[in-house]
C-alpha cells in the first residue's frame, strides 16, 4: 500500500472525462499527489430513435451484445430491454465488464487479459458466426475493425451508437490556471484521442511546455503517439487504461524518479 506522501510534489493532469475521473483523483490525492482535472474528452449522449426492426433478431440462433466501454454501458444498457432474452452480453475489457455487473447485467465473456477488439475476437465462440446477430454498443465513429471482422466471420452486425466524443470547451484563463498556475509535471492519457486533444488545448499557451511532461500512457499505442507528438521524456506505460493500472504506473514512475535522484 503506498504511503500517504508517496506522490508528494507530483502534480498530475487527469485527462479522463469528468464523470470517470473521481476514483483516480482520490487515489492520487490519498498518496500525497495533486490531481489537476483537465478533461480532454466530453462524453455526450446521443438521442436517437431506433426503428423496431433494428432489434429483430429472434430468429437467429445466437445473439450477442458487445459493449465497447463504460460509457456504452452507462448510456446504452437500457436498450437491452429491446433485445431477445437469449442475448448474451460481452465486454471489451474488465472495466466495462465490471460496469455491466454493477448494472445487474450478466456478462457471458470478457477477455481475461487485454482490453482490445483483437483480444475479444480471440474468444472461441466468436470464430464462426453464421446465423448470429451481434449488436455493438459504442460511440459515434471510432474504430471499424470489430464490426468488419465480425461481419467477415458471418455475423449480421448492428452498431448502436449511444454517445459521441467532443473536445471540451475551455477558456484561456482556465487553461492558464491549471497549466502555468499549478505547474504540472505529469499527464495521464488513456487514449490517443485524449492525448491529441490535450495537446490542442495546451498548445494555446506558448509559455507552457506541454512536451516536457511525463506521459503515463494507458497502452503502448498511446506511448508511441506521445513519442511521435514530440514528448521529450520516455512515456511510462500502464498495463491497461484502468484506474488501478494507471495509478500503479504513476507510482512506479515516481519511485524510479526517486531512485535516480537518490543515486545522483
CATH code 3.40.50.10090 region(s) in the chain:
11-41+168-263, 45-165
Q: Is the pLDDT of residue 57 over 80?
A: no
The answer to whether the CB of 219 falls within 8 A of the CB of 240 is yes
Report the CATH number of the 45-165 domain.
3.40.50.10090
Retrieve residue 196's grid coordinates. Answer: 491529441
Q: What integer pLDDT is reported at residue 34 of this predicted model?
A: 95
Q: What integer pLDDT is reported at residue 29 of this predicted model?
A: 94
**Mean pLDDT calculated for residue range 217-231:** 96
Please tell me the pTM assigned to this model: 0.76
Retrieve residue 33's grid coordinates. Answer: 499527489
Q: Where are the beta strands (DSSP E) in 68-190?
A: 88-91, 132-139, 156-166, 186-189
Q: Is the pLDDT of residue 83 over 90?
A: no
Q: Is the pLDDT of residue 96 over 70?
A: yes
Q: pLDDT tens across 155-192, in order? A: 999 999 999 888 888 999 999 999 988 889 999 999 99
* Selection from 221, 198, 194 nearest residue 211 by Cα: 198
Query: In which band, very low, low, confident or very high, does the pLDDT at 61 lie, cut at 50, 70 and 90?
Result: confident
Burial 182-219 (b: 16+ CB within 10 A, else e): eebbbbbbbbbbbbebbbebbeeeeebebeebbbbbbb
**Mean pLDDT calculated for residue range 1-15:** 82
C-alpha triplet 66, 68, 70: angle, nearest 5°: 115
CA distance 12 to 33: 7
Q: What are phi and psi of 46, to 5 degrees?
A: -100, 120
- According to CATH, the topology of domain 11-41+168-263 is Rossmann fold (3.40.50)
Q: pLDDT tens across 16-34, in order? A: 988 888 999 999 999 999 9
Query: In which band, very low, low, confident or very high, does the pLDDT at 1 lie, cut at 50, 70 and 90?
Result: very low
- Cα 20 to chain centroid distance, Å, stands at 9
CB within 8 A of 240, min separation 6: which ones?
93, 94, 95, 114, 115, 218, 219
Q: pLDDT tens across 38-54, in order? A: 999 988 888 777 655 66
Amino acid at each position: 500500500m503506498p504511503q500517504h506522501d508517496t506522490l508528494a510534489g507530483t502534480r498530475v493532469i487527469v485527462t479522463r472525462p469528468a464523470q470517470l475521473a473521481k476514483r483516480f483523483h482520490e487515489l492520487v490525492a490519498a498518496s500525497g499527489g495533486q490531481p489537476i482535472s483537465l478533461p480532454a474528452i466530453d462524453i455526450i449522449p446521443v438521442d436517437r430513435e431506433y426503428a423496431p426492426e433494428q432489434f429483430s433478431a429472434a430468429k437467429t440462433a445466437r445473439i450477442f451484445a458487445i459493449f465497447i466501454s463504460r460509457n456504452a454501458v452507462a448510456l446504452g444498457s437500457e436498450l437491452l430491454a429491446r433485445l431477445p432474452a437469449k442475448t448474451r452480453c460481452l465486454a471489451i475489457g474488465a472495466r466495462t465488464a465490471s460496469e455491466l455487473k454493477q448494472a445487474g447485467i450478466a456478462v457471458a465473456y470478457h477477455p481475461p487479459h487485454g482490453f482490445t477488439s483483437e483480444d475479444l475476437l480471440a474468444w472461441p465462440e466468436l470464430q464462426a458466426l453464421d446465423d448470429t446477430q451481434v449488436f455493438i454498443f459504442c460511440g459515434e465513429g471510432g474504430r471499424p475493425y470489430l464490426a468488419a471482422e465480425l461481419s467477415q466471420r458471418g455475423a449480421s452486425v448492428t452498431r448502436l451508437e449511444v454517445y459521441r466524443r467532443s473536445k471540451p470547451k475551455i477558456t484561456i484563463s482556465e487553461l492558464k490556471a491549471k497549466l502555468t498556475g499549478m505547474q504540472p509535471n505529469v499527464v495521464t492519457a488513456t487514449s490517443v484521442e485524449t492525448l491529441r486533444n490535450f495537446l490542442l488545448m495546451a498548445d494555446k499557451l506558448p509559455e507552457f511546455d506541454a512536451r516536457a511532461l511525463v506521459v503515463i500512457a494507458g497502452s503502448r499505442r498511446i506511448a508511441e503517439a506521445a513519442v511521435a507528438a514530440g514528448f521529450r521524456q520516455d512515456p511510462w506505460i500502464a498495463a491497461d487504461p484502468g484506474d488501478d493500472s494507471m495509478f500503479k504506473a504513476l507510482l512506479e514512475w515516481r519511485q524510479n524518479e526517486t531512485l535516480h535522484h537518490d543515486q545522483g
